[in-house]
Amino acid sequence: MRYHIWTVGCQMNVADSHKLAAGLDRLGWASVEKPADADLVVLNTCSIRDHAEQRALSKLGALKKLRSQGNEFKIAVMGCMVGLNTDELRRRFPYVDAFARPQQFEPIMEAVGYEDLGGEFWPATFETPDGPTAYVPIIHGCDKFCTYCIVPYRRGRERSRTVGDIRDEVEHLAARGVREVTLLGQTVEAYGHDLPPEAGRSRPPDLGDLLRALHDIDGIARFRFLTSYPKDMTERIIDTVVELPKVCEFFNIPVQSGDDAVLERMRRGYTMREYLEKFHLIRRKVPNVAITTDLIVGFCGETDEEFQHSYDLLAELEFDKVHVAAYSDRPGTIAHRKLEDDVPQEVKMARFHAIEQLEAGISARINSRLLGQEVEVLVEGQKTKADGESPWYGRSRGNKLVHFSGEAKAGDLVTVRIDRASAWSLVGTADAPAAVPARP
Ligand code: SF4
């Protein structure tokens, strides 16, 4: 039997897809590239933005057409588009065989004839690595309820996995050639608050404790963690990043707006002053740190002046990268019920492009500082370009994409001298692979 999984959205979705794929592999199924060759097609969806939902809907339309041409695969929809109540979805898409909420694979497995696989079937050590890097969810769900966000309703409240459970999974990955592990959570620093204290301790474990507990695993050269929630970031976690050589000097700390009134309408739970305190603490304490952020423009009621505060903030802080999104109203959120989506679309897009342009200049400037310097790169693979060249590619400790020529293989840690730099990537030449672990 064969399956095809299509995934959009965050790294949590990617991890969920891997877990489902590993379950199917374990039952003797094989993955195929084309839906037409499959017995089961799974769409793992995202509803954070309208655009992601539209892509899933258009995929569904294409699958319906394929089936009407005689292909007999089952169709399953999983992820954040699937809410508590699936009646409405069933009515709209009667040809879909199964709807499954994030991490709840049972309806999909039942649709292809596997009843009662039981909890034992989905062990923690389940991810199938498809390269030298892997995502490992450490905390599921979110308790924050930002007004624009659907995640707490679809992924539920925060639930941490135990340190032992996570360590088992990382050891499993290391034994299968994984060299870099990204620990995932919607609010990753919230890790552990819902766990009991470990033996000999009076407090529950936090992200710093977890990183220390994983750090000695043989074969793993790097750890990262995503996504930070500014209010949950602590000095102890920042100190852990500085102290542990395998933990990369990389933070993604979404700011979402540079204006206090907008942050309050978003119910982000912090002010700009509090955000800046955390930001500067990280910059001060972590040498060579790379910091990226997420920003929403055109949120309900955002005035020109409020937008300007976001623009000025980005110009001042010079993030390594900004993931910018134009706000889109999501049914089911607090903002949908209580606030008016009143910024015209053309204004949202003008603000979006202004931020993109600003950030392209900043990223190019930051990256140009690396010209002539040596950076440590974890090799992920090789790509053949139209001109016939096949450079290797991988990421620096600061999570920057680096293409390079030289001797290497996937999973190597190499030192690359940077010869060219743009806003989007770096190009260089590699020395021989370094011993593990290494640091710049
Ligand atoms: S912190 Fe806010 S934006 Fe992030 S997942 Fe939770 S509710 Fe959504």
**What is the atom index within ligand 1 of the atom nearest the CA of 142?**
6
**SS3 per-residue string spanning the chain:** CEEEEEECCCHHHHHHHHHHHHHHHHCCCEECCCHHHCCEEEEEECCCCHHHHHHHHHHHHHHHHHHHCCCCCEEEEEECCCCCCCHHHHHHCCCCCEEECCCCCHHHHHHCCCCCCCHHHCCCCCCCCCCCEEEEEEEECCCCCCCCCCHHHHHCCCEECCHHHHHHHHHHHHHCCCCEEEEEECCHHHCCCCCCCCCCCCCCCCHHHHHHHHCCCCCCCEEEEECCCHHHCCHHHHHHHHHCCCECCEEECCCECCCHHHHHHHCCCCCHHHHHHHHHHHHHHCCCCEEEEEEEECCCCCCHHHHHHHHHHHHHHCCCEEEEEECCCCCCCHHHHHCCCCCCHHHHHHHHHHHHHHHHHHHHHHHHCCCCCEEEEEEEEECCCCCCCCCEEEEECCCCEEEEECCCCCCCEEEEEEEEECCCCEEEEEEEECCCCCCC
When pLDDT is cut at 50, 70 and 90, the band that residue 127 belongs to is low
pLDDT tens-digit readout, 336-380: 999 999 999 999 999 999 999 999 999 999 999 999 999 999 999
Both 107 and 10 in one domain: the answer is yes
pLDDT tens-digit readout, 53-90: 889 999 999 999 999 888 889 999 999 888 767 888 88
pLDDT tens-digit readout, 317-329: 999 999 999 999 9
Q: How far is the CA of 145 from the centre of ligand 1 (A)?
A: 6
Residue type, position 337, single letter: R
The upper half-sphere exposure of residue 287, i.e. CA atoms within 13 Å in the direction of its Cβ, equals 6
Both 53 and 138 in one domain: the answer is no
Specify the CATH number for the domain of residue 285. 3.80.30.20
**What is the atom index within ligand 1 of the atom nearest the CA of 143?**
6
Both 112 and 150 in one domain: the answer is no
Q: Whose CA is nearest to atom 2 of ligand 1?
A: 146
Query: Which of 86, 121, 156 represents a domain boundary (last residue)?
Result: 121
Q: Which domain holds residue 75?
A: 2-121
Specify the CATH number for the domain of residue 391. 2.40.50.140
Between CA 429 and CA 415 the distance in angstroms is 8
| Number of domain units in the chain | 3
Both 296 and 273 in one domain: the answer is yes
**What is the atom index within ligand 1 of the atom nearest the CA of 227?**
4
When pLDDT is cut at 50, 70 and 90, the band that residue 439 belongs to is very low
In a domain, 266, yes or no: yes
In a domain, 438, yes or no: no
Query: Which of 121, 146, 179 represents a domain boundary (last residue)?
Result: 121
Portion of the chain with pLDDT greater than 90, in percent? 73
Strands 98-100 and 40-45: unpaired
Both 174 and 317 in one domain: the answer is yes
Between CA 50 and CA 412 the distance in angstroms is 39
**What is the atom index within ligand 1 of the atom nearest the CA of 152?**
7
Both 137 and 230 in one domain: the answer is yes
Both 148 and 194 in one domain: the answer is yes
In a domain, 318, yes or no: yes
Both 217 and 175 in one domain: the answer is yes
Q: How far is the CA of 307 from the centre of ligand 1 (A)?
A: 21
Mean pLDDT, to the nearest integer, of 306-334? 95
Both 27 and 166 in one domain: the answer is no
Portion of the chain with pLDDT greater than 70, in percent? 95
Q: Whose CA is nearest to atom 8 of ligand 1?
A: 149
Q: How far is the CA of 142 from the centre of ligand 1 (A)?
A: 6
Both 344 and 361 in one domain: the answer is yes
In a domain, 146, yes or no: yes
Q: How far is the CA of 152 from the centre of ligand 1 (A)?
A: 7
Specify the CATH number for the domain of residue 29. 3.40.50.12160
Q: How far is the CA of 149 from the centre of ligand 1 (A)?
A: 6
Per DSSP, what are the bridge partners of residue 429? 405, 417
In a domain, 439, yes or no: no
Query: Which of 318, 341, 368 represents a domain boundary (last residue)?
Result: 368
**What is the atom index within ligand 1 of the atom nearest the CA of 155?**
5
In a domain, 303, yes or no: yes
Both 228 and 209 in one domain: the answer is yes
pLDDT tens-digit readout, 260-291: 999 999 999 999 999 999 999 999 999 999 99
Q: Which one of 13, 48, 142 would you pick to mutate in the ligand 1 pocket, going by the greatest count of ligand atoms within 8 A of its CB?
A: 142
Q: How far is the CA of 227 from the centre of ligand 1 (A)?
A: 10
Mean pLDDT, to the nearest integer, of 237-266? 97
In a domain, 220, yes or no: yes
Q: Whose CA is nearest to atom 4 of ligand 1?
A: 186
Strands 250-252 and 222-226: unpaired
- What value does the mean pLDDT of the chain take? 91
Between CA 259 and CA 257 the distance in angstroms is 5
Task: Note the pLDDT of residue 123.
Answer: 54
Task: Note the pLDDT of residue 438.
Answer: 44
pTM of the predicted structure, to 2 decimals: 0.88
When pLDDT is cut at 50, 70 and 90, the band that residue 143 belongs to is very high
Both 6 and 117 in one domain: the answer is yes
When pLDDT is cut at 50, 70 and 90, the band that residue 184 belongs to is very high
In a domain, 88, yes or no: yes
Mean pLDDT, to the nearest integer, of 292-315? 98
Q: Which one of 80, 143, 149, 323 would you pick to mutate in the ligand 1 pocket, going by the greatest count of ligand atoms within 8 A of its CB?
A: 149
Q: How far is the CA of 47 from the centre of ligand 1 (A)?
A: 13
Q: Which residues line ligand 1 (CB under 6 A)?
A: 142, 144-146, 149, 151-152, 186-187, 229
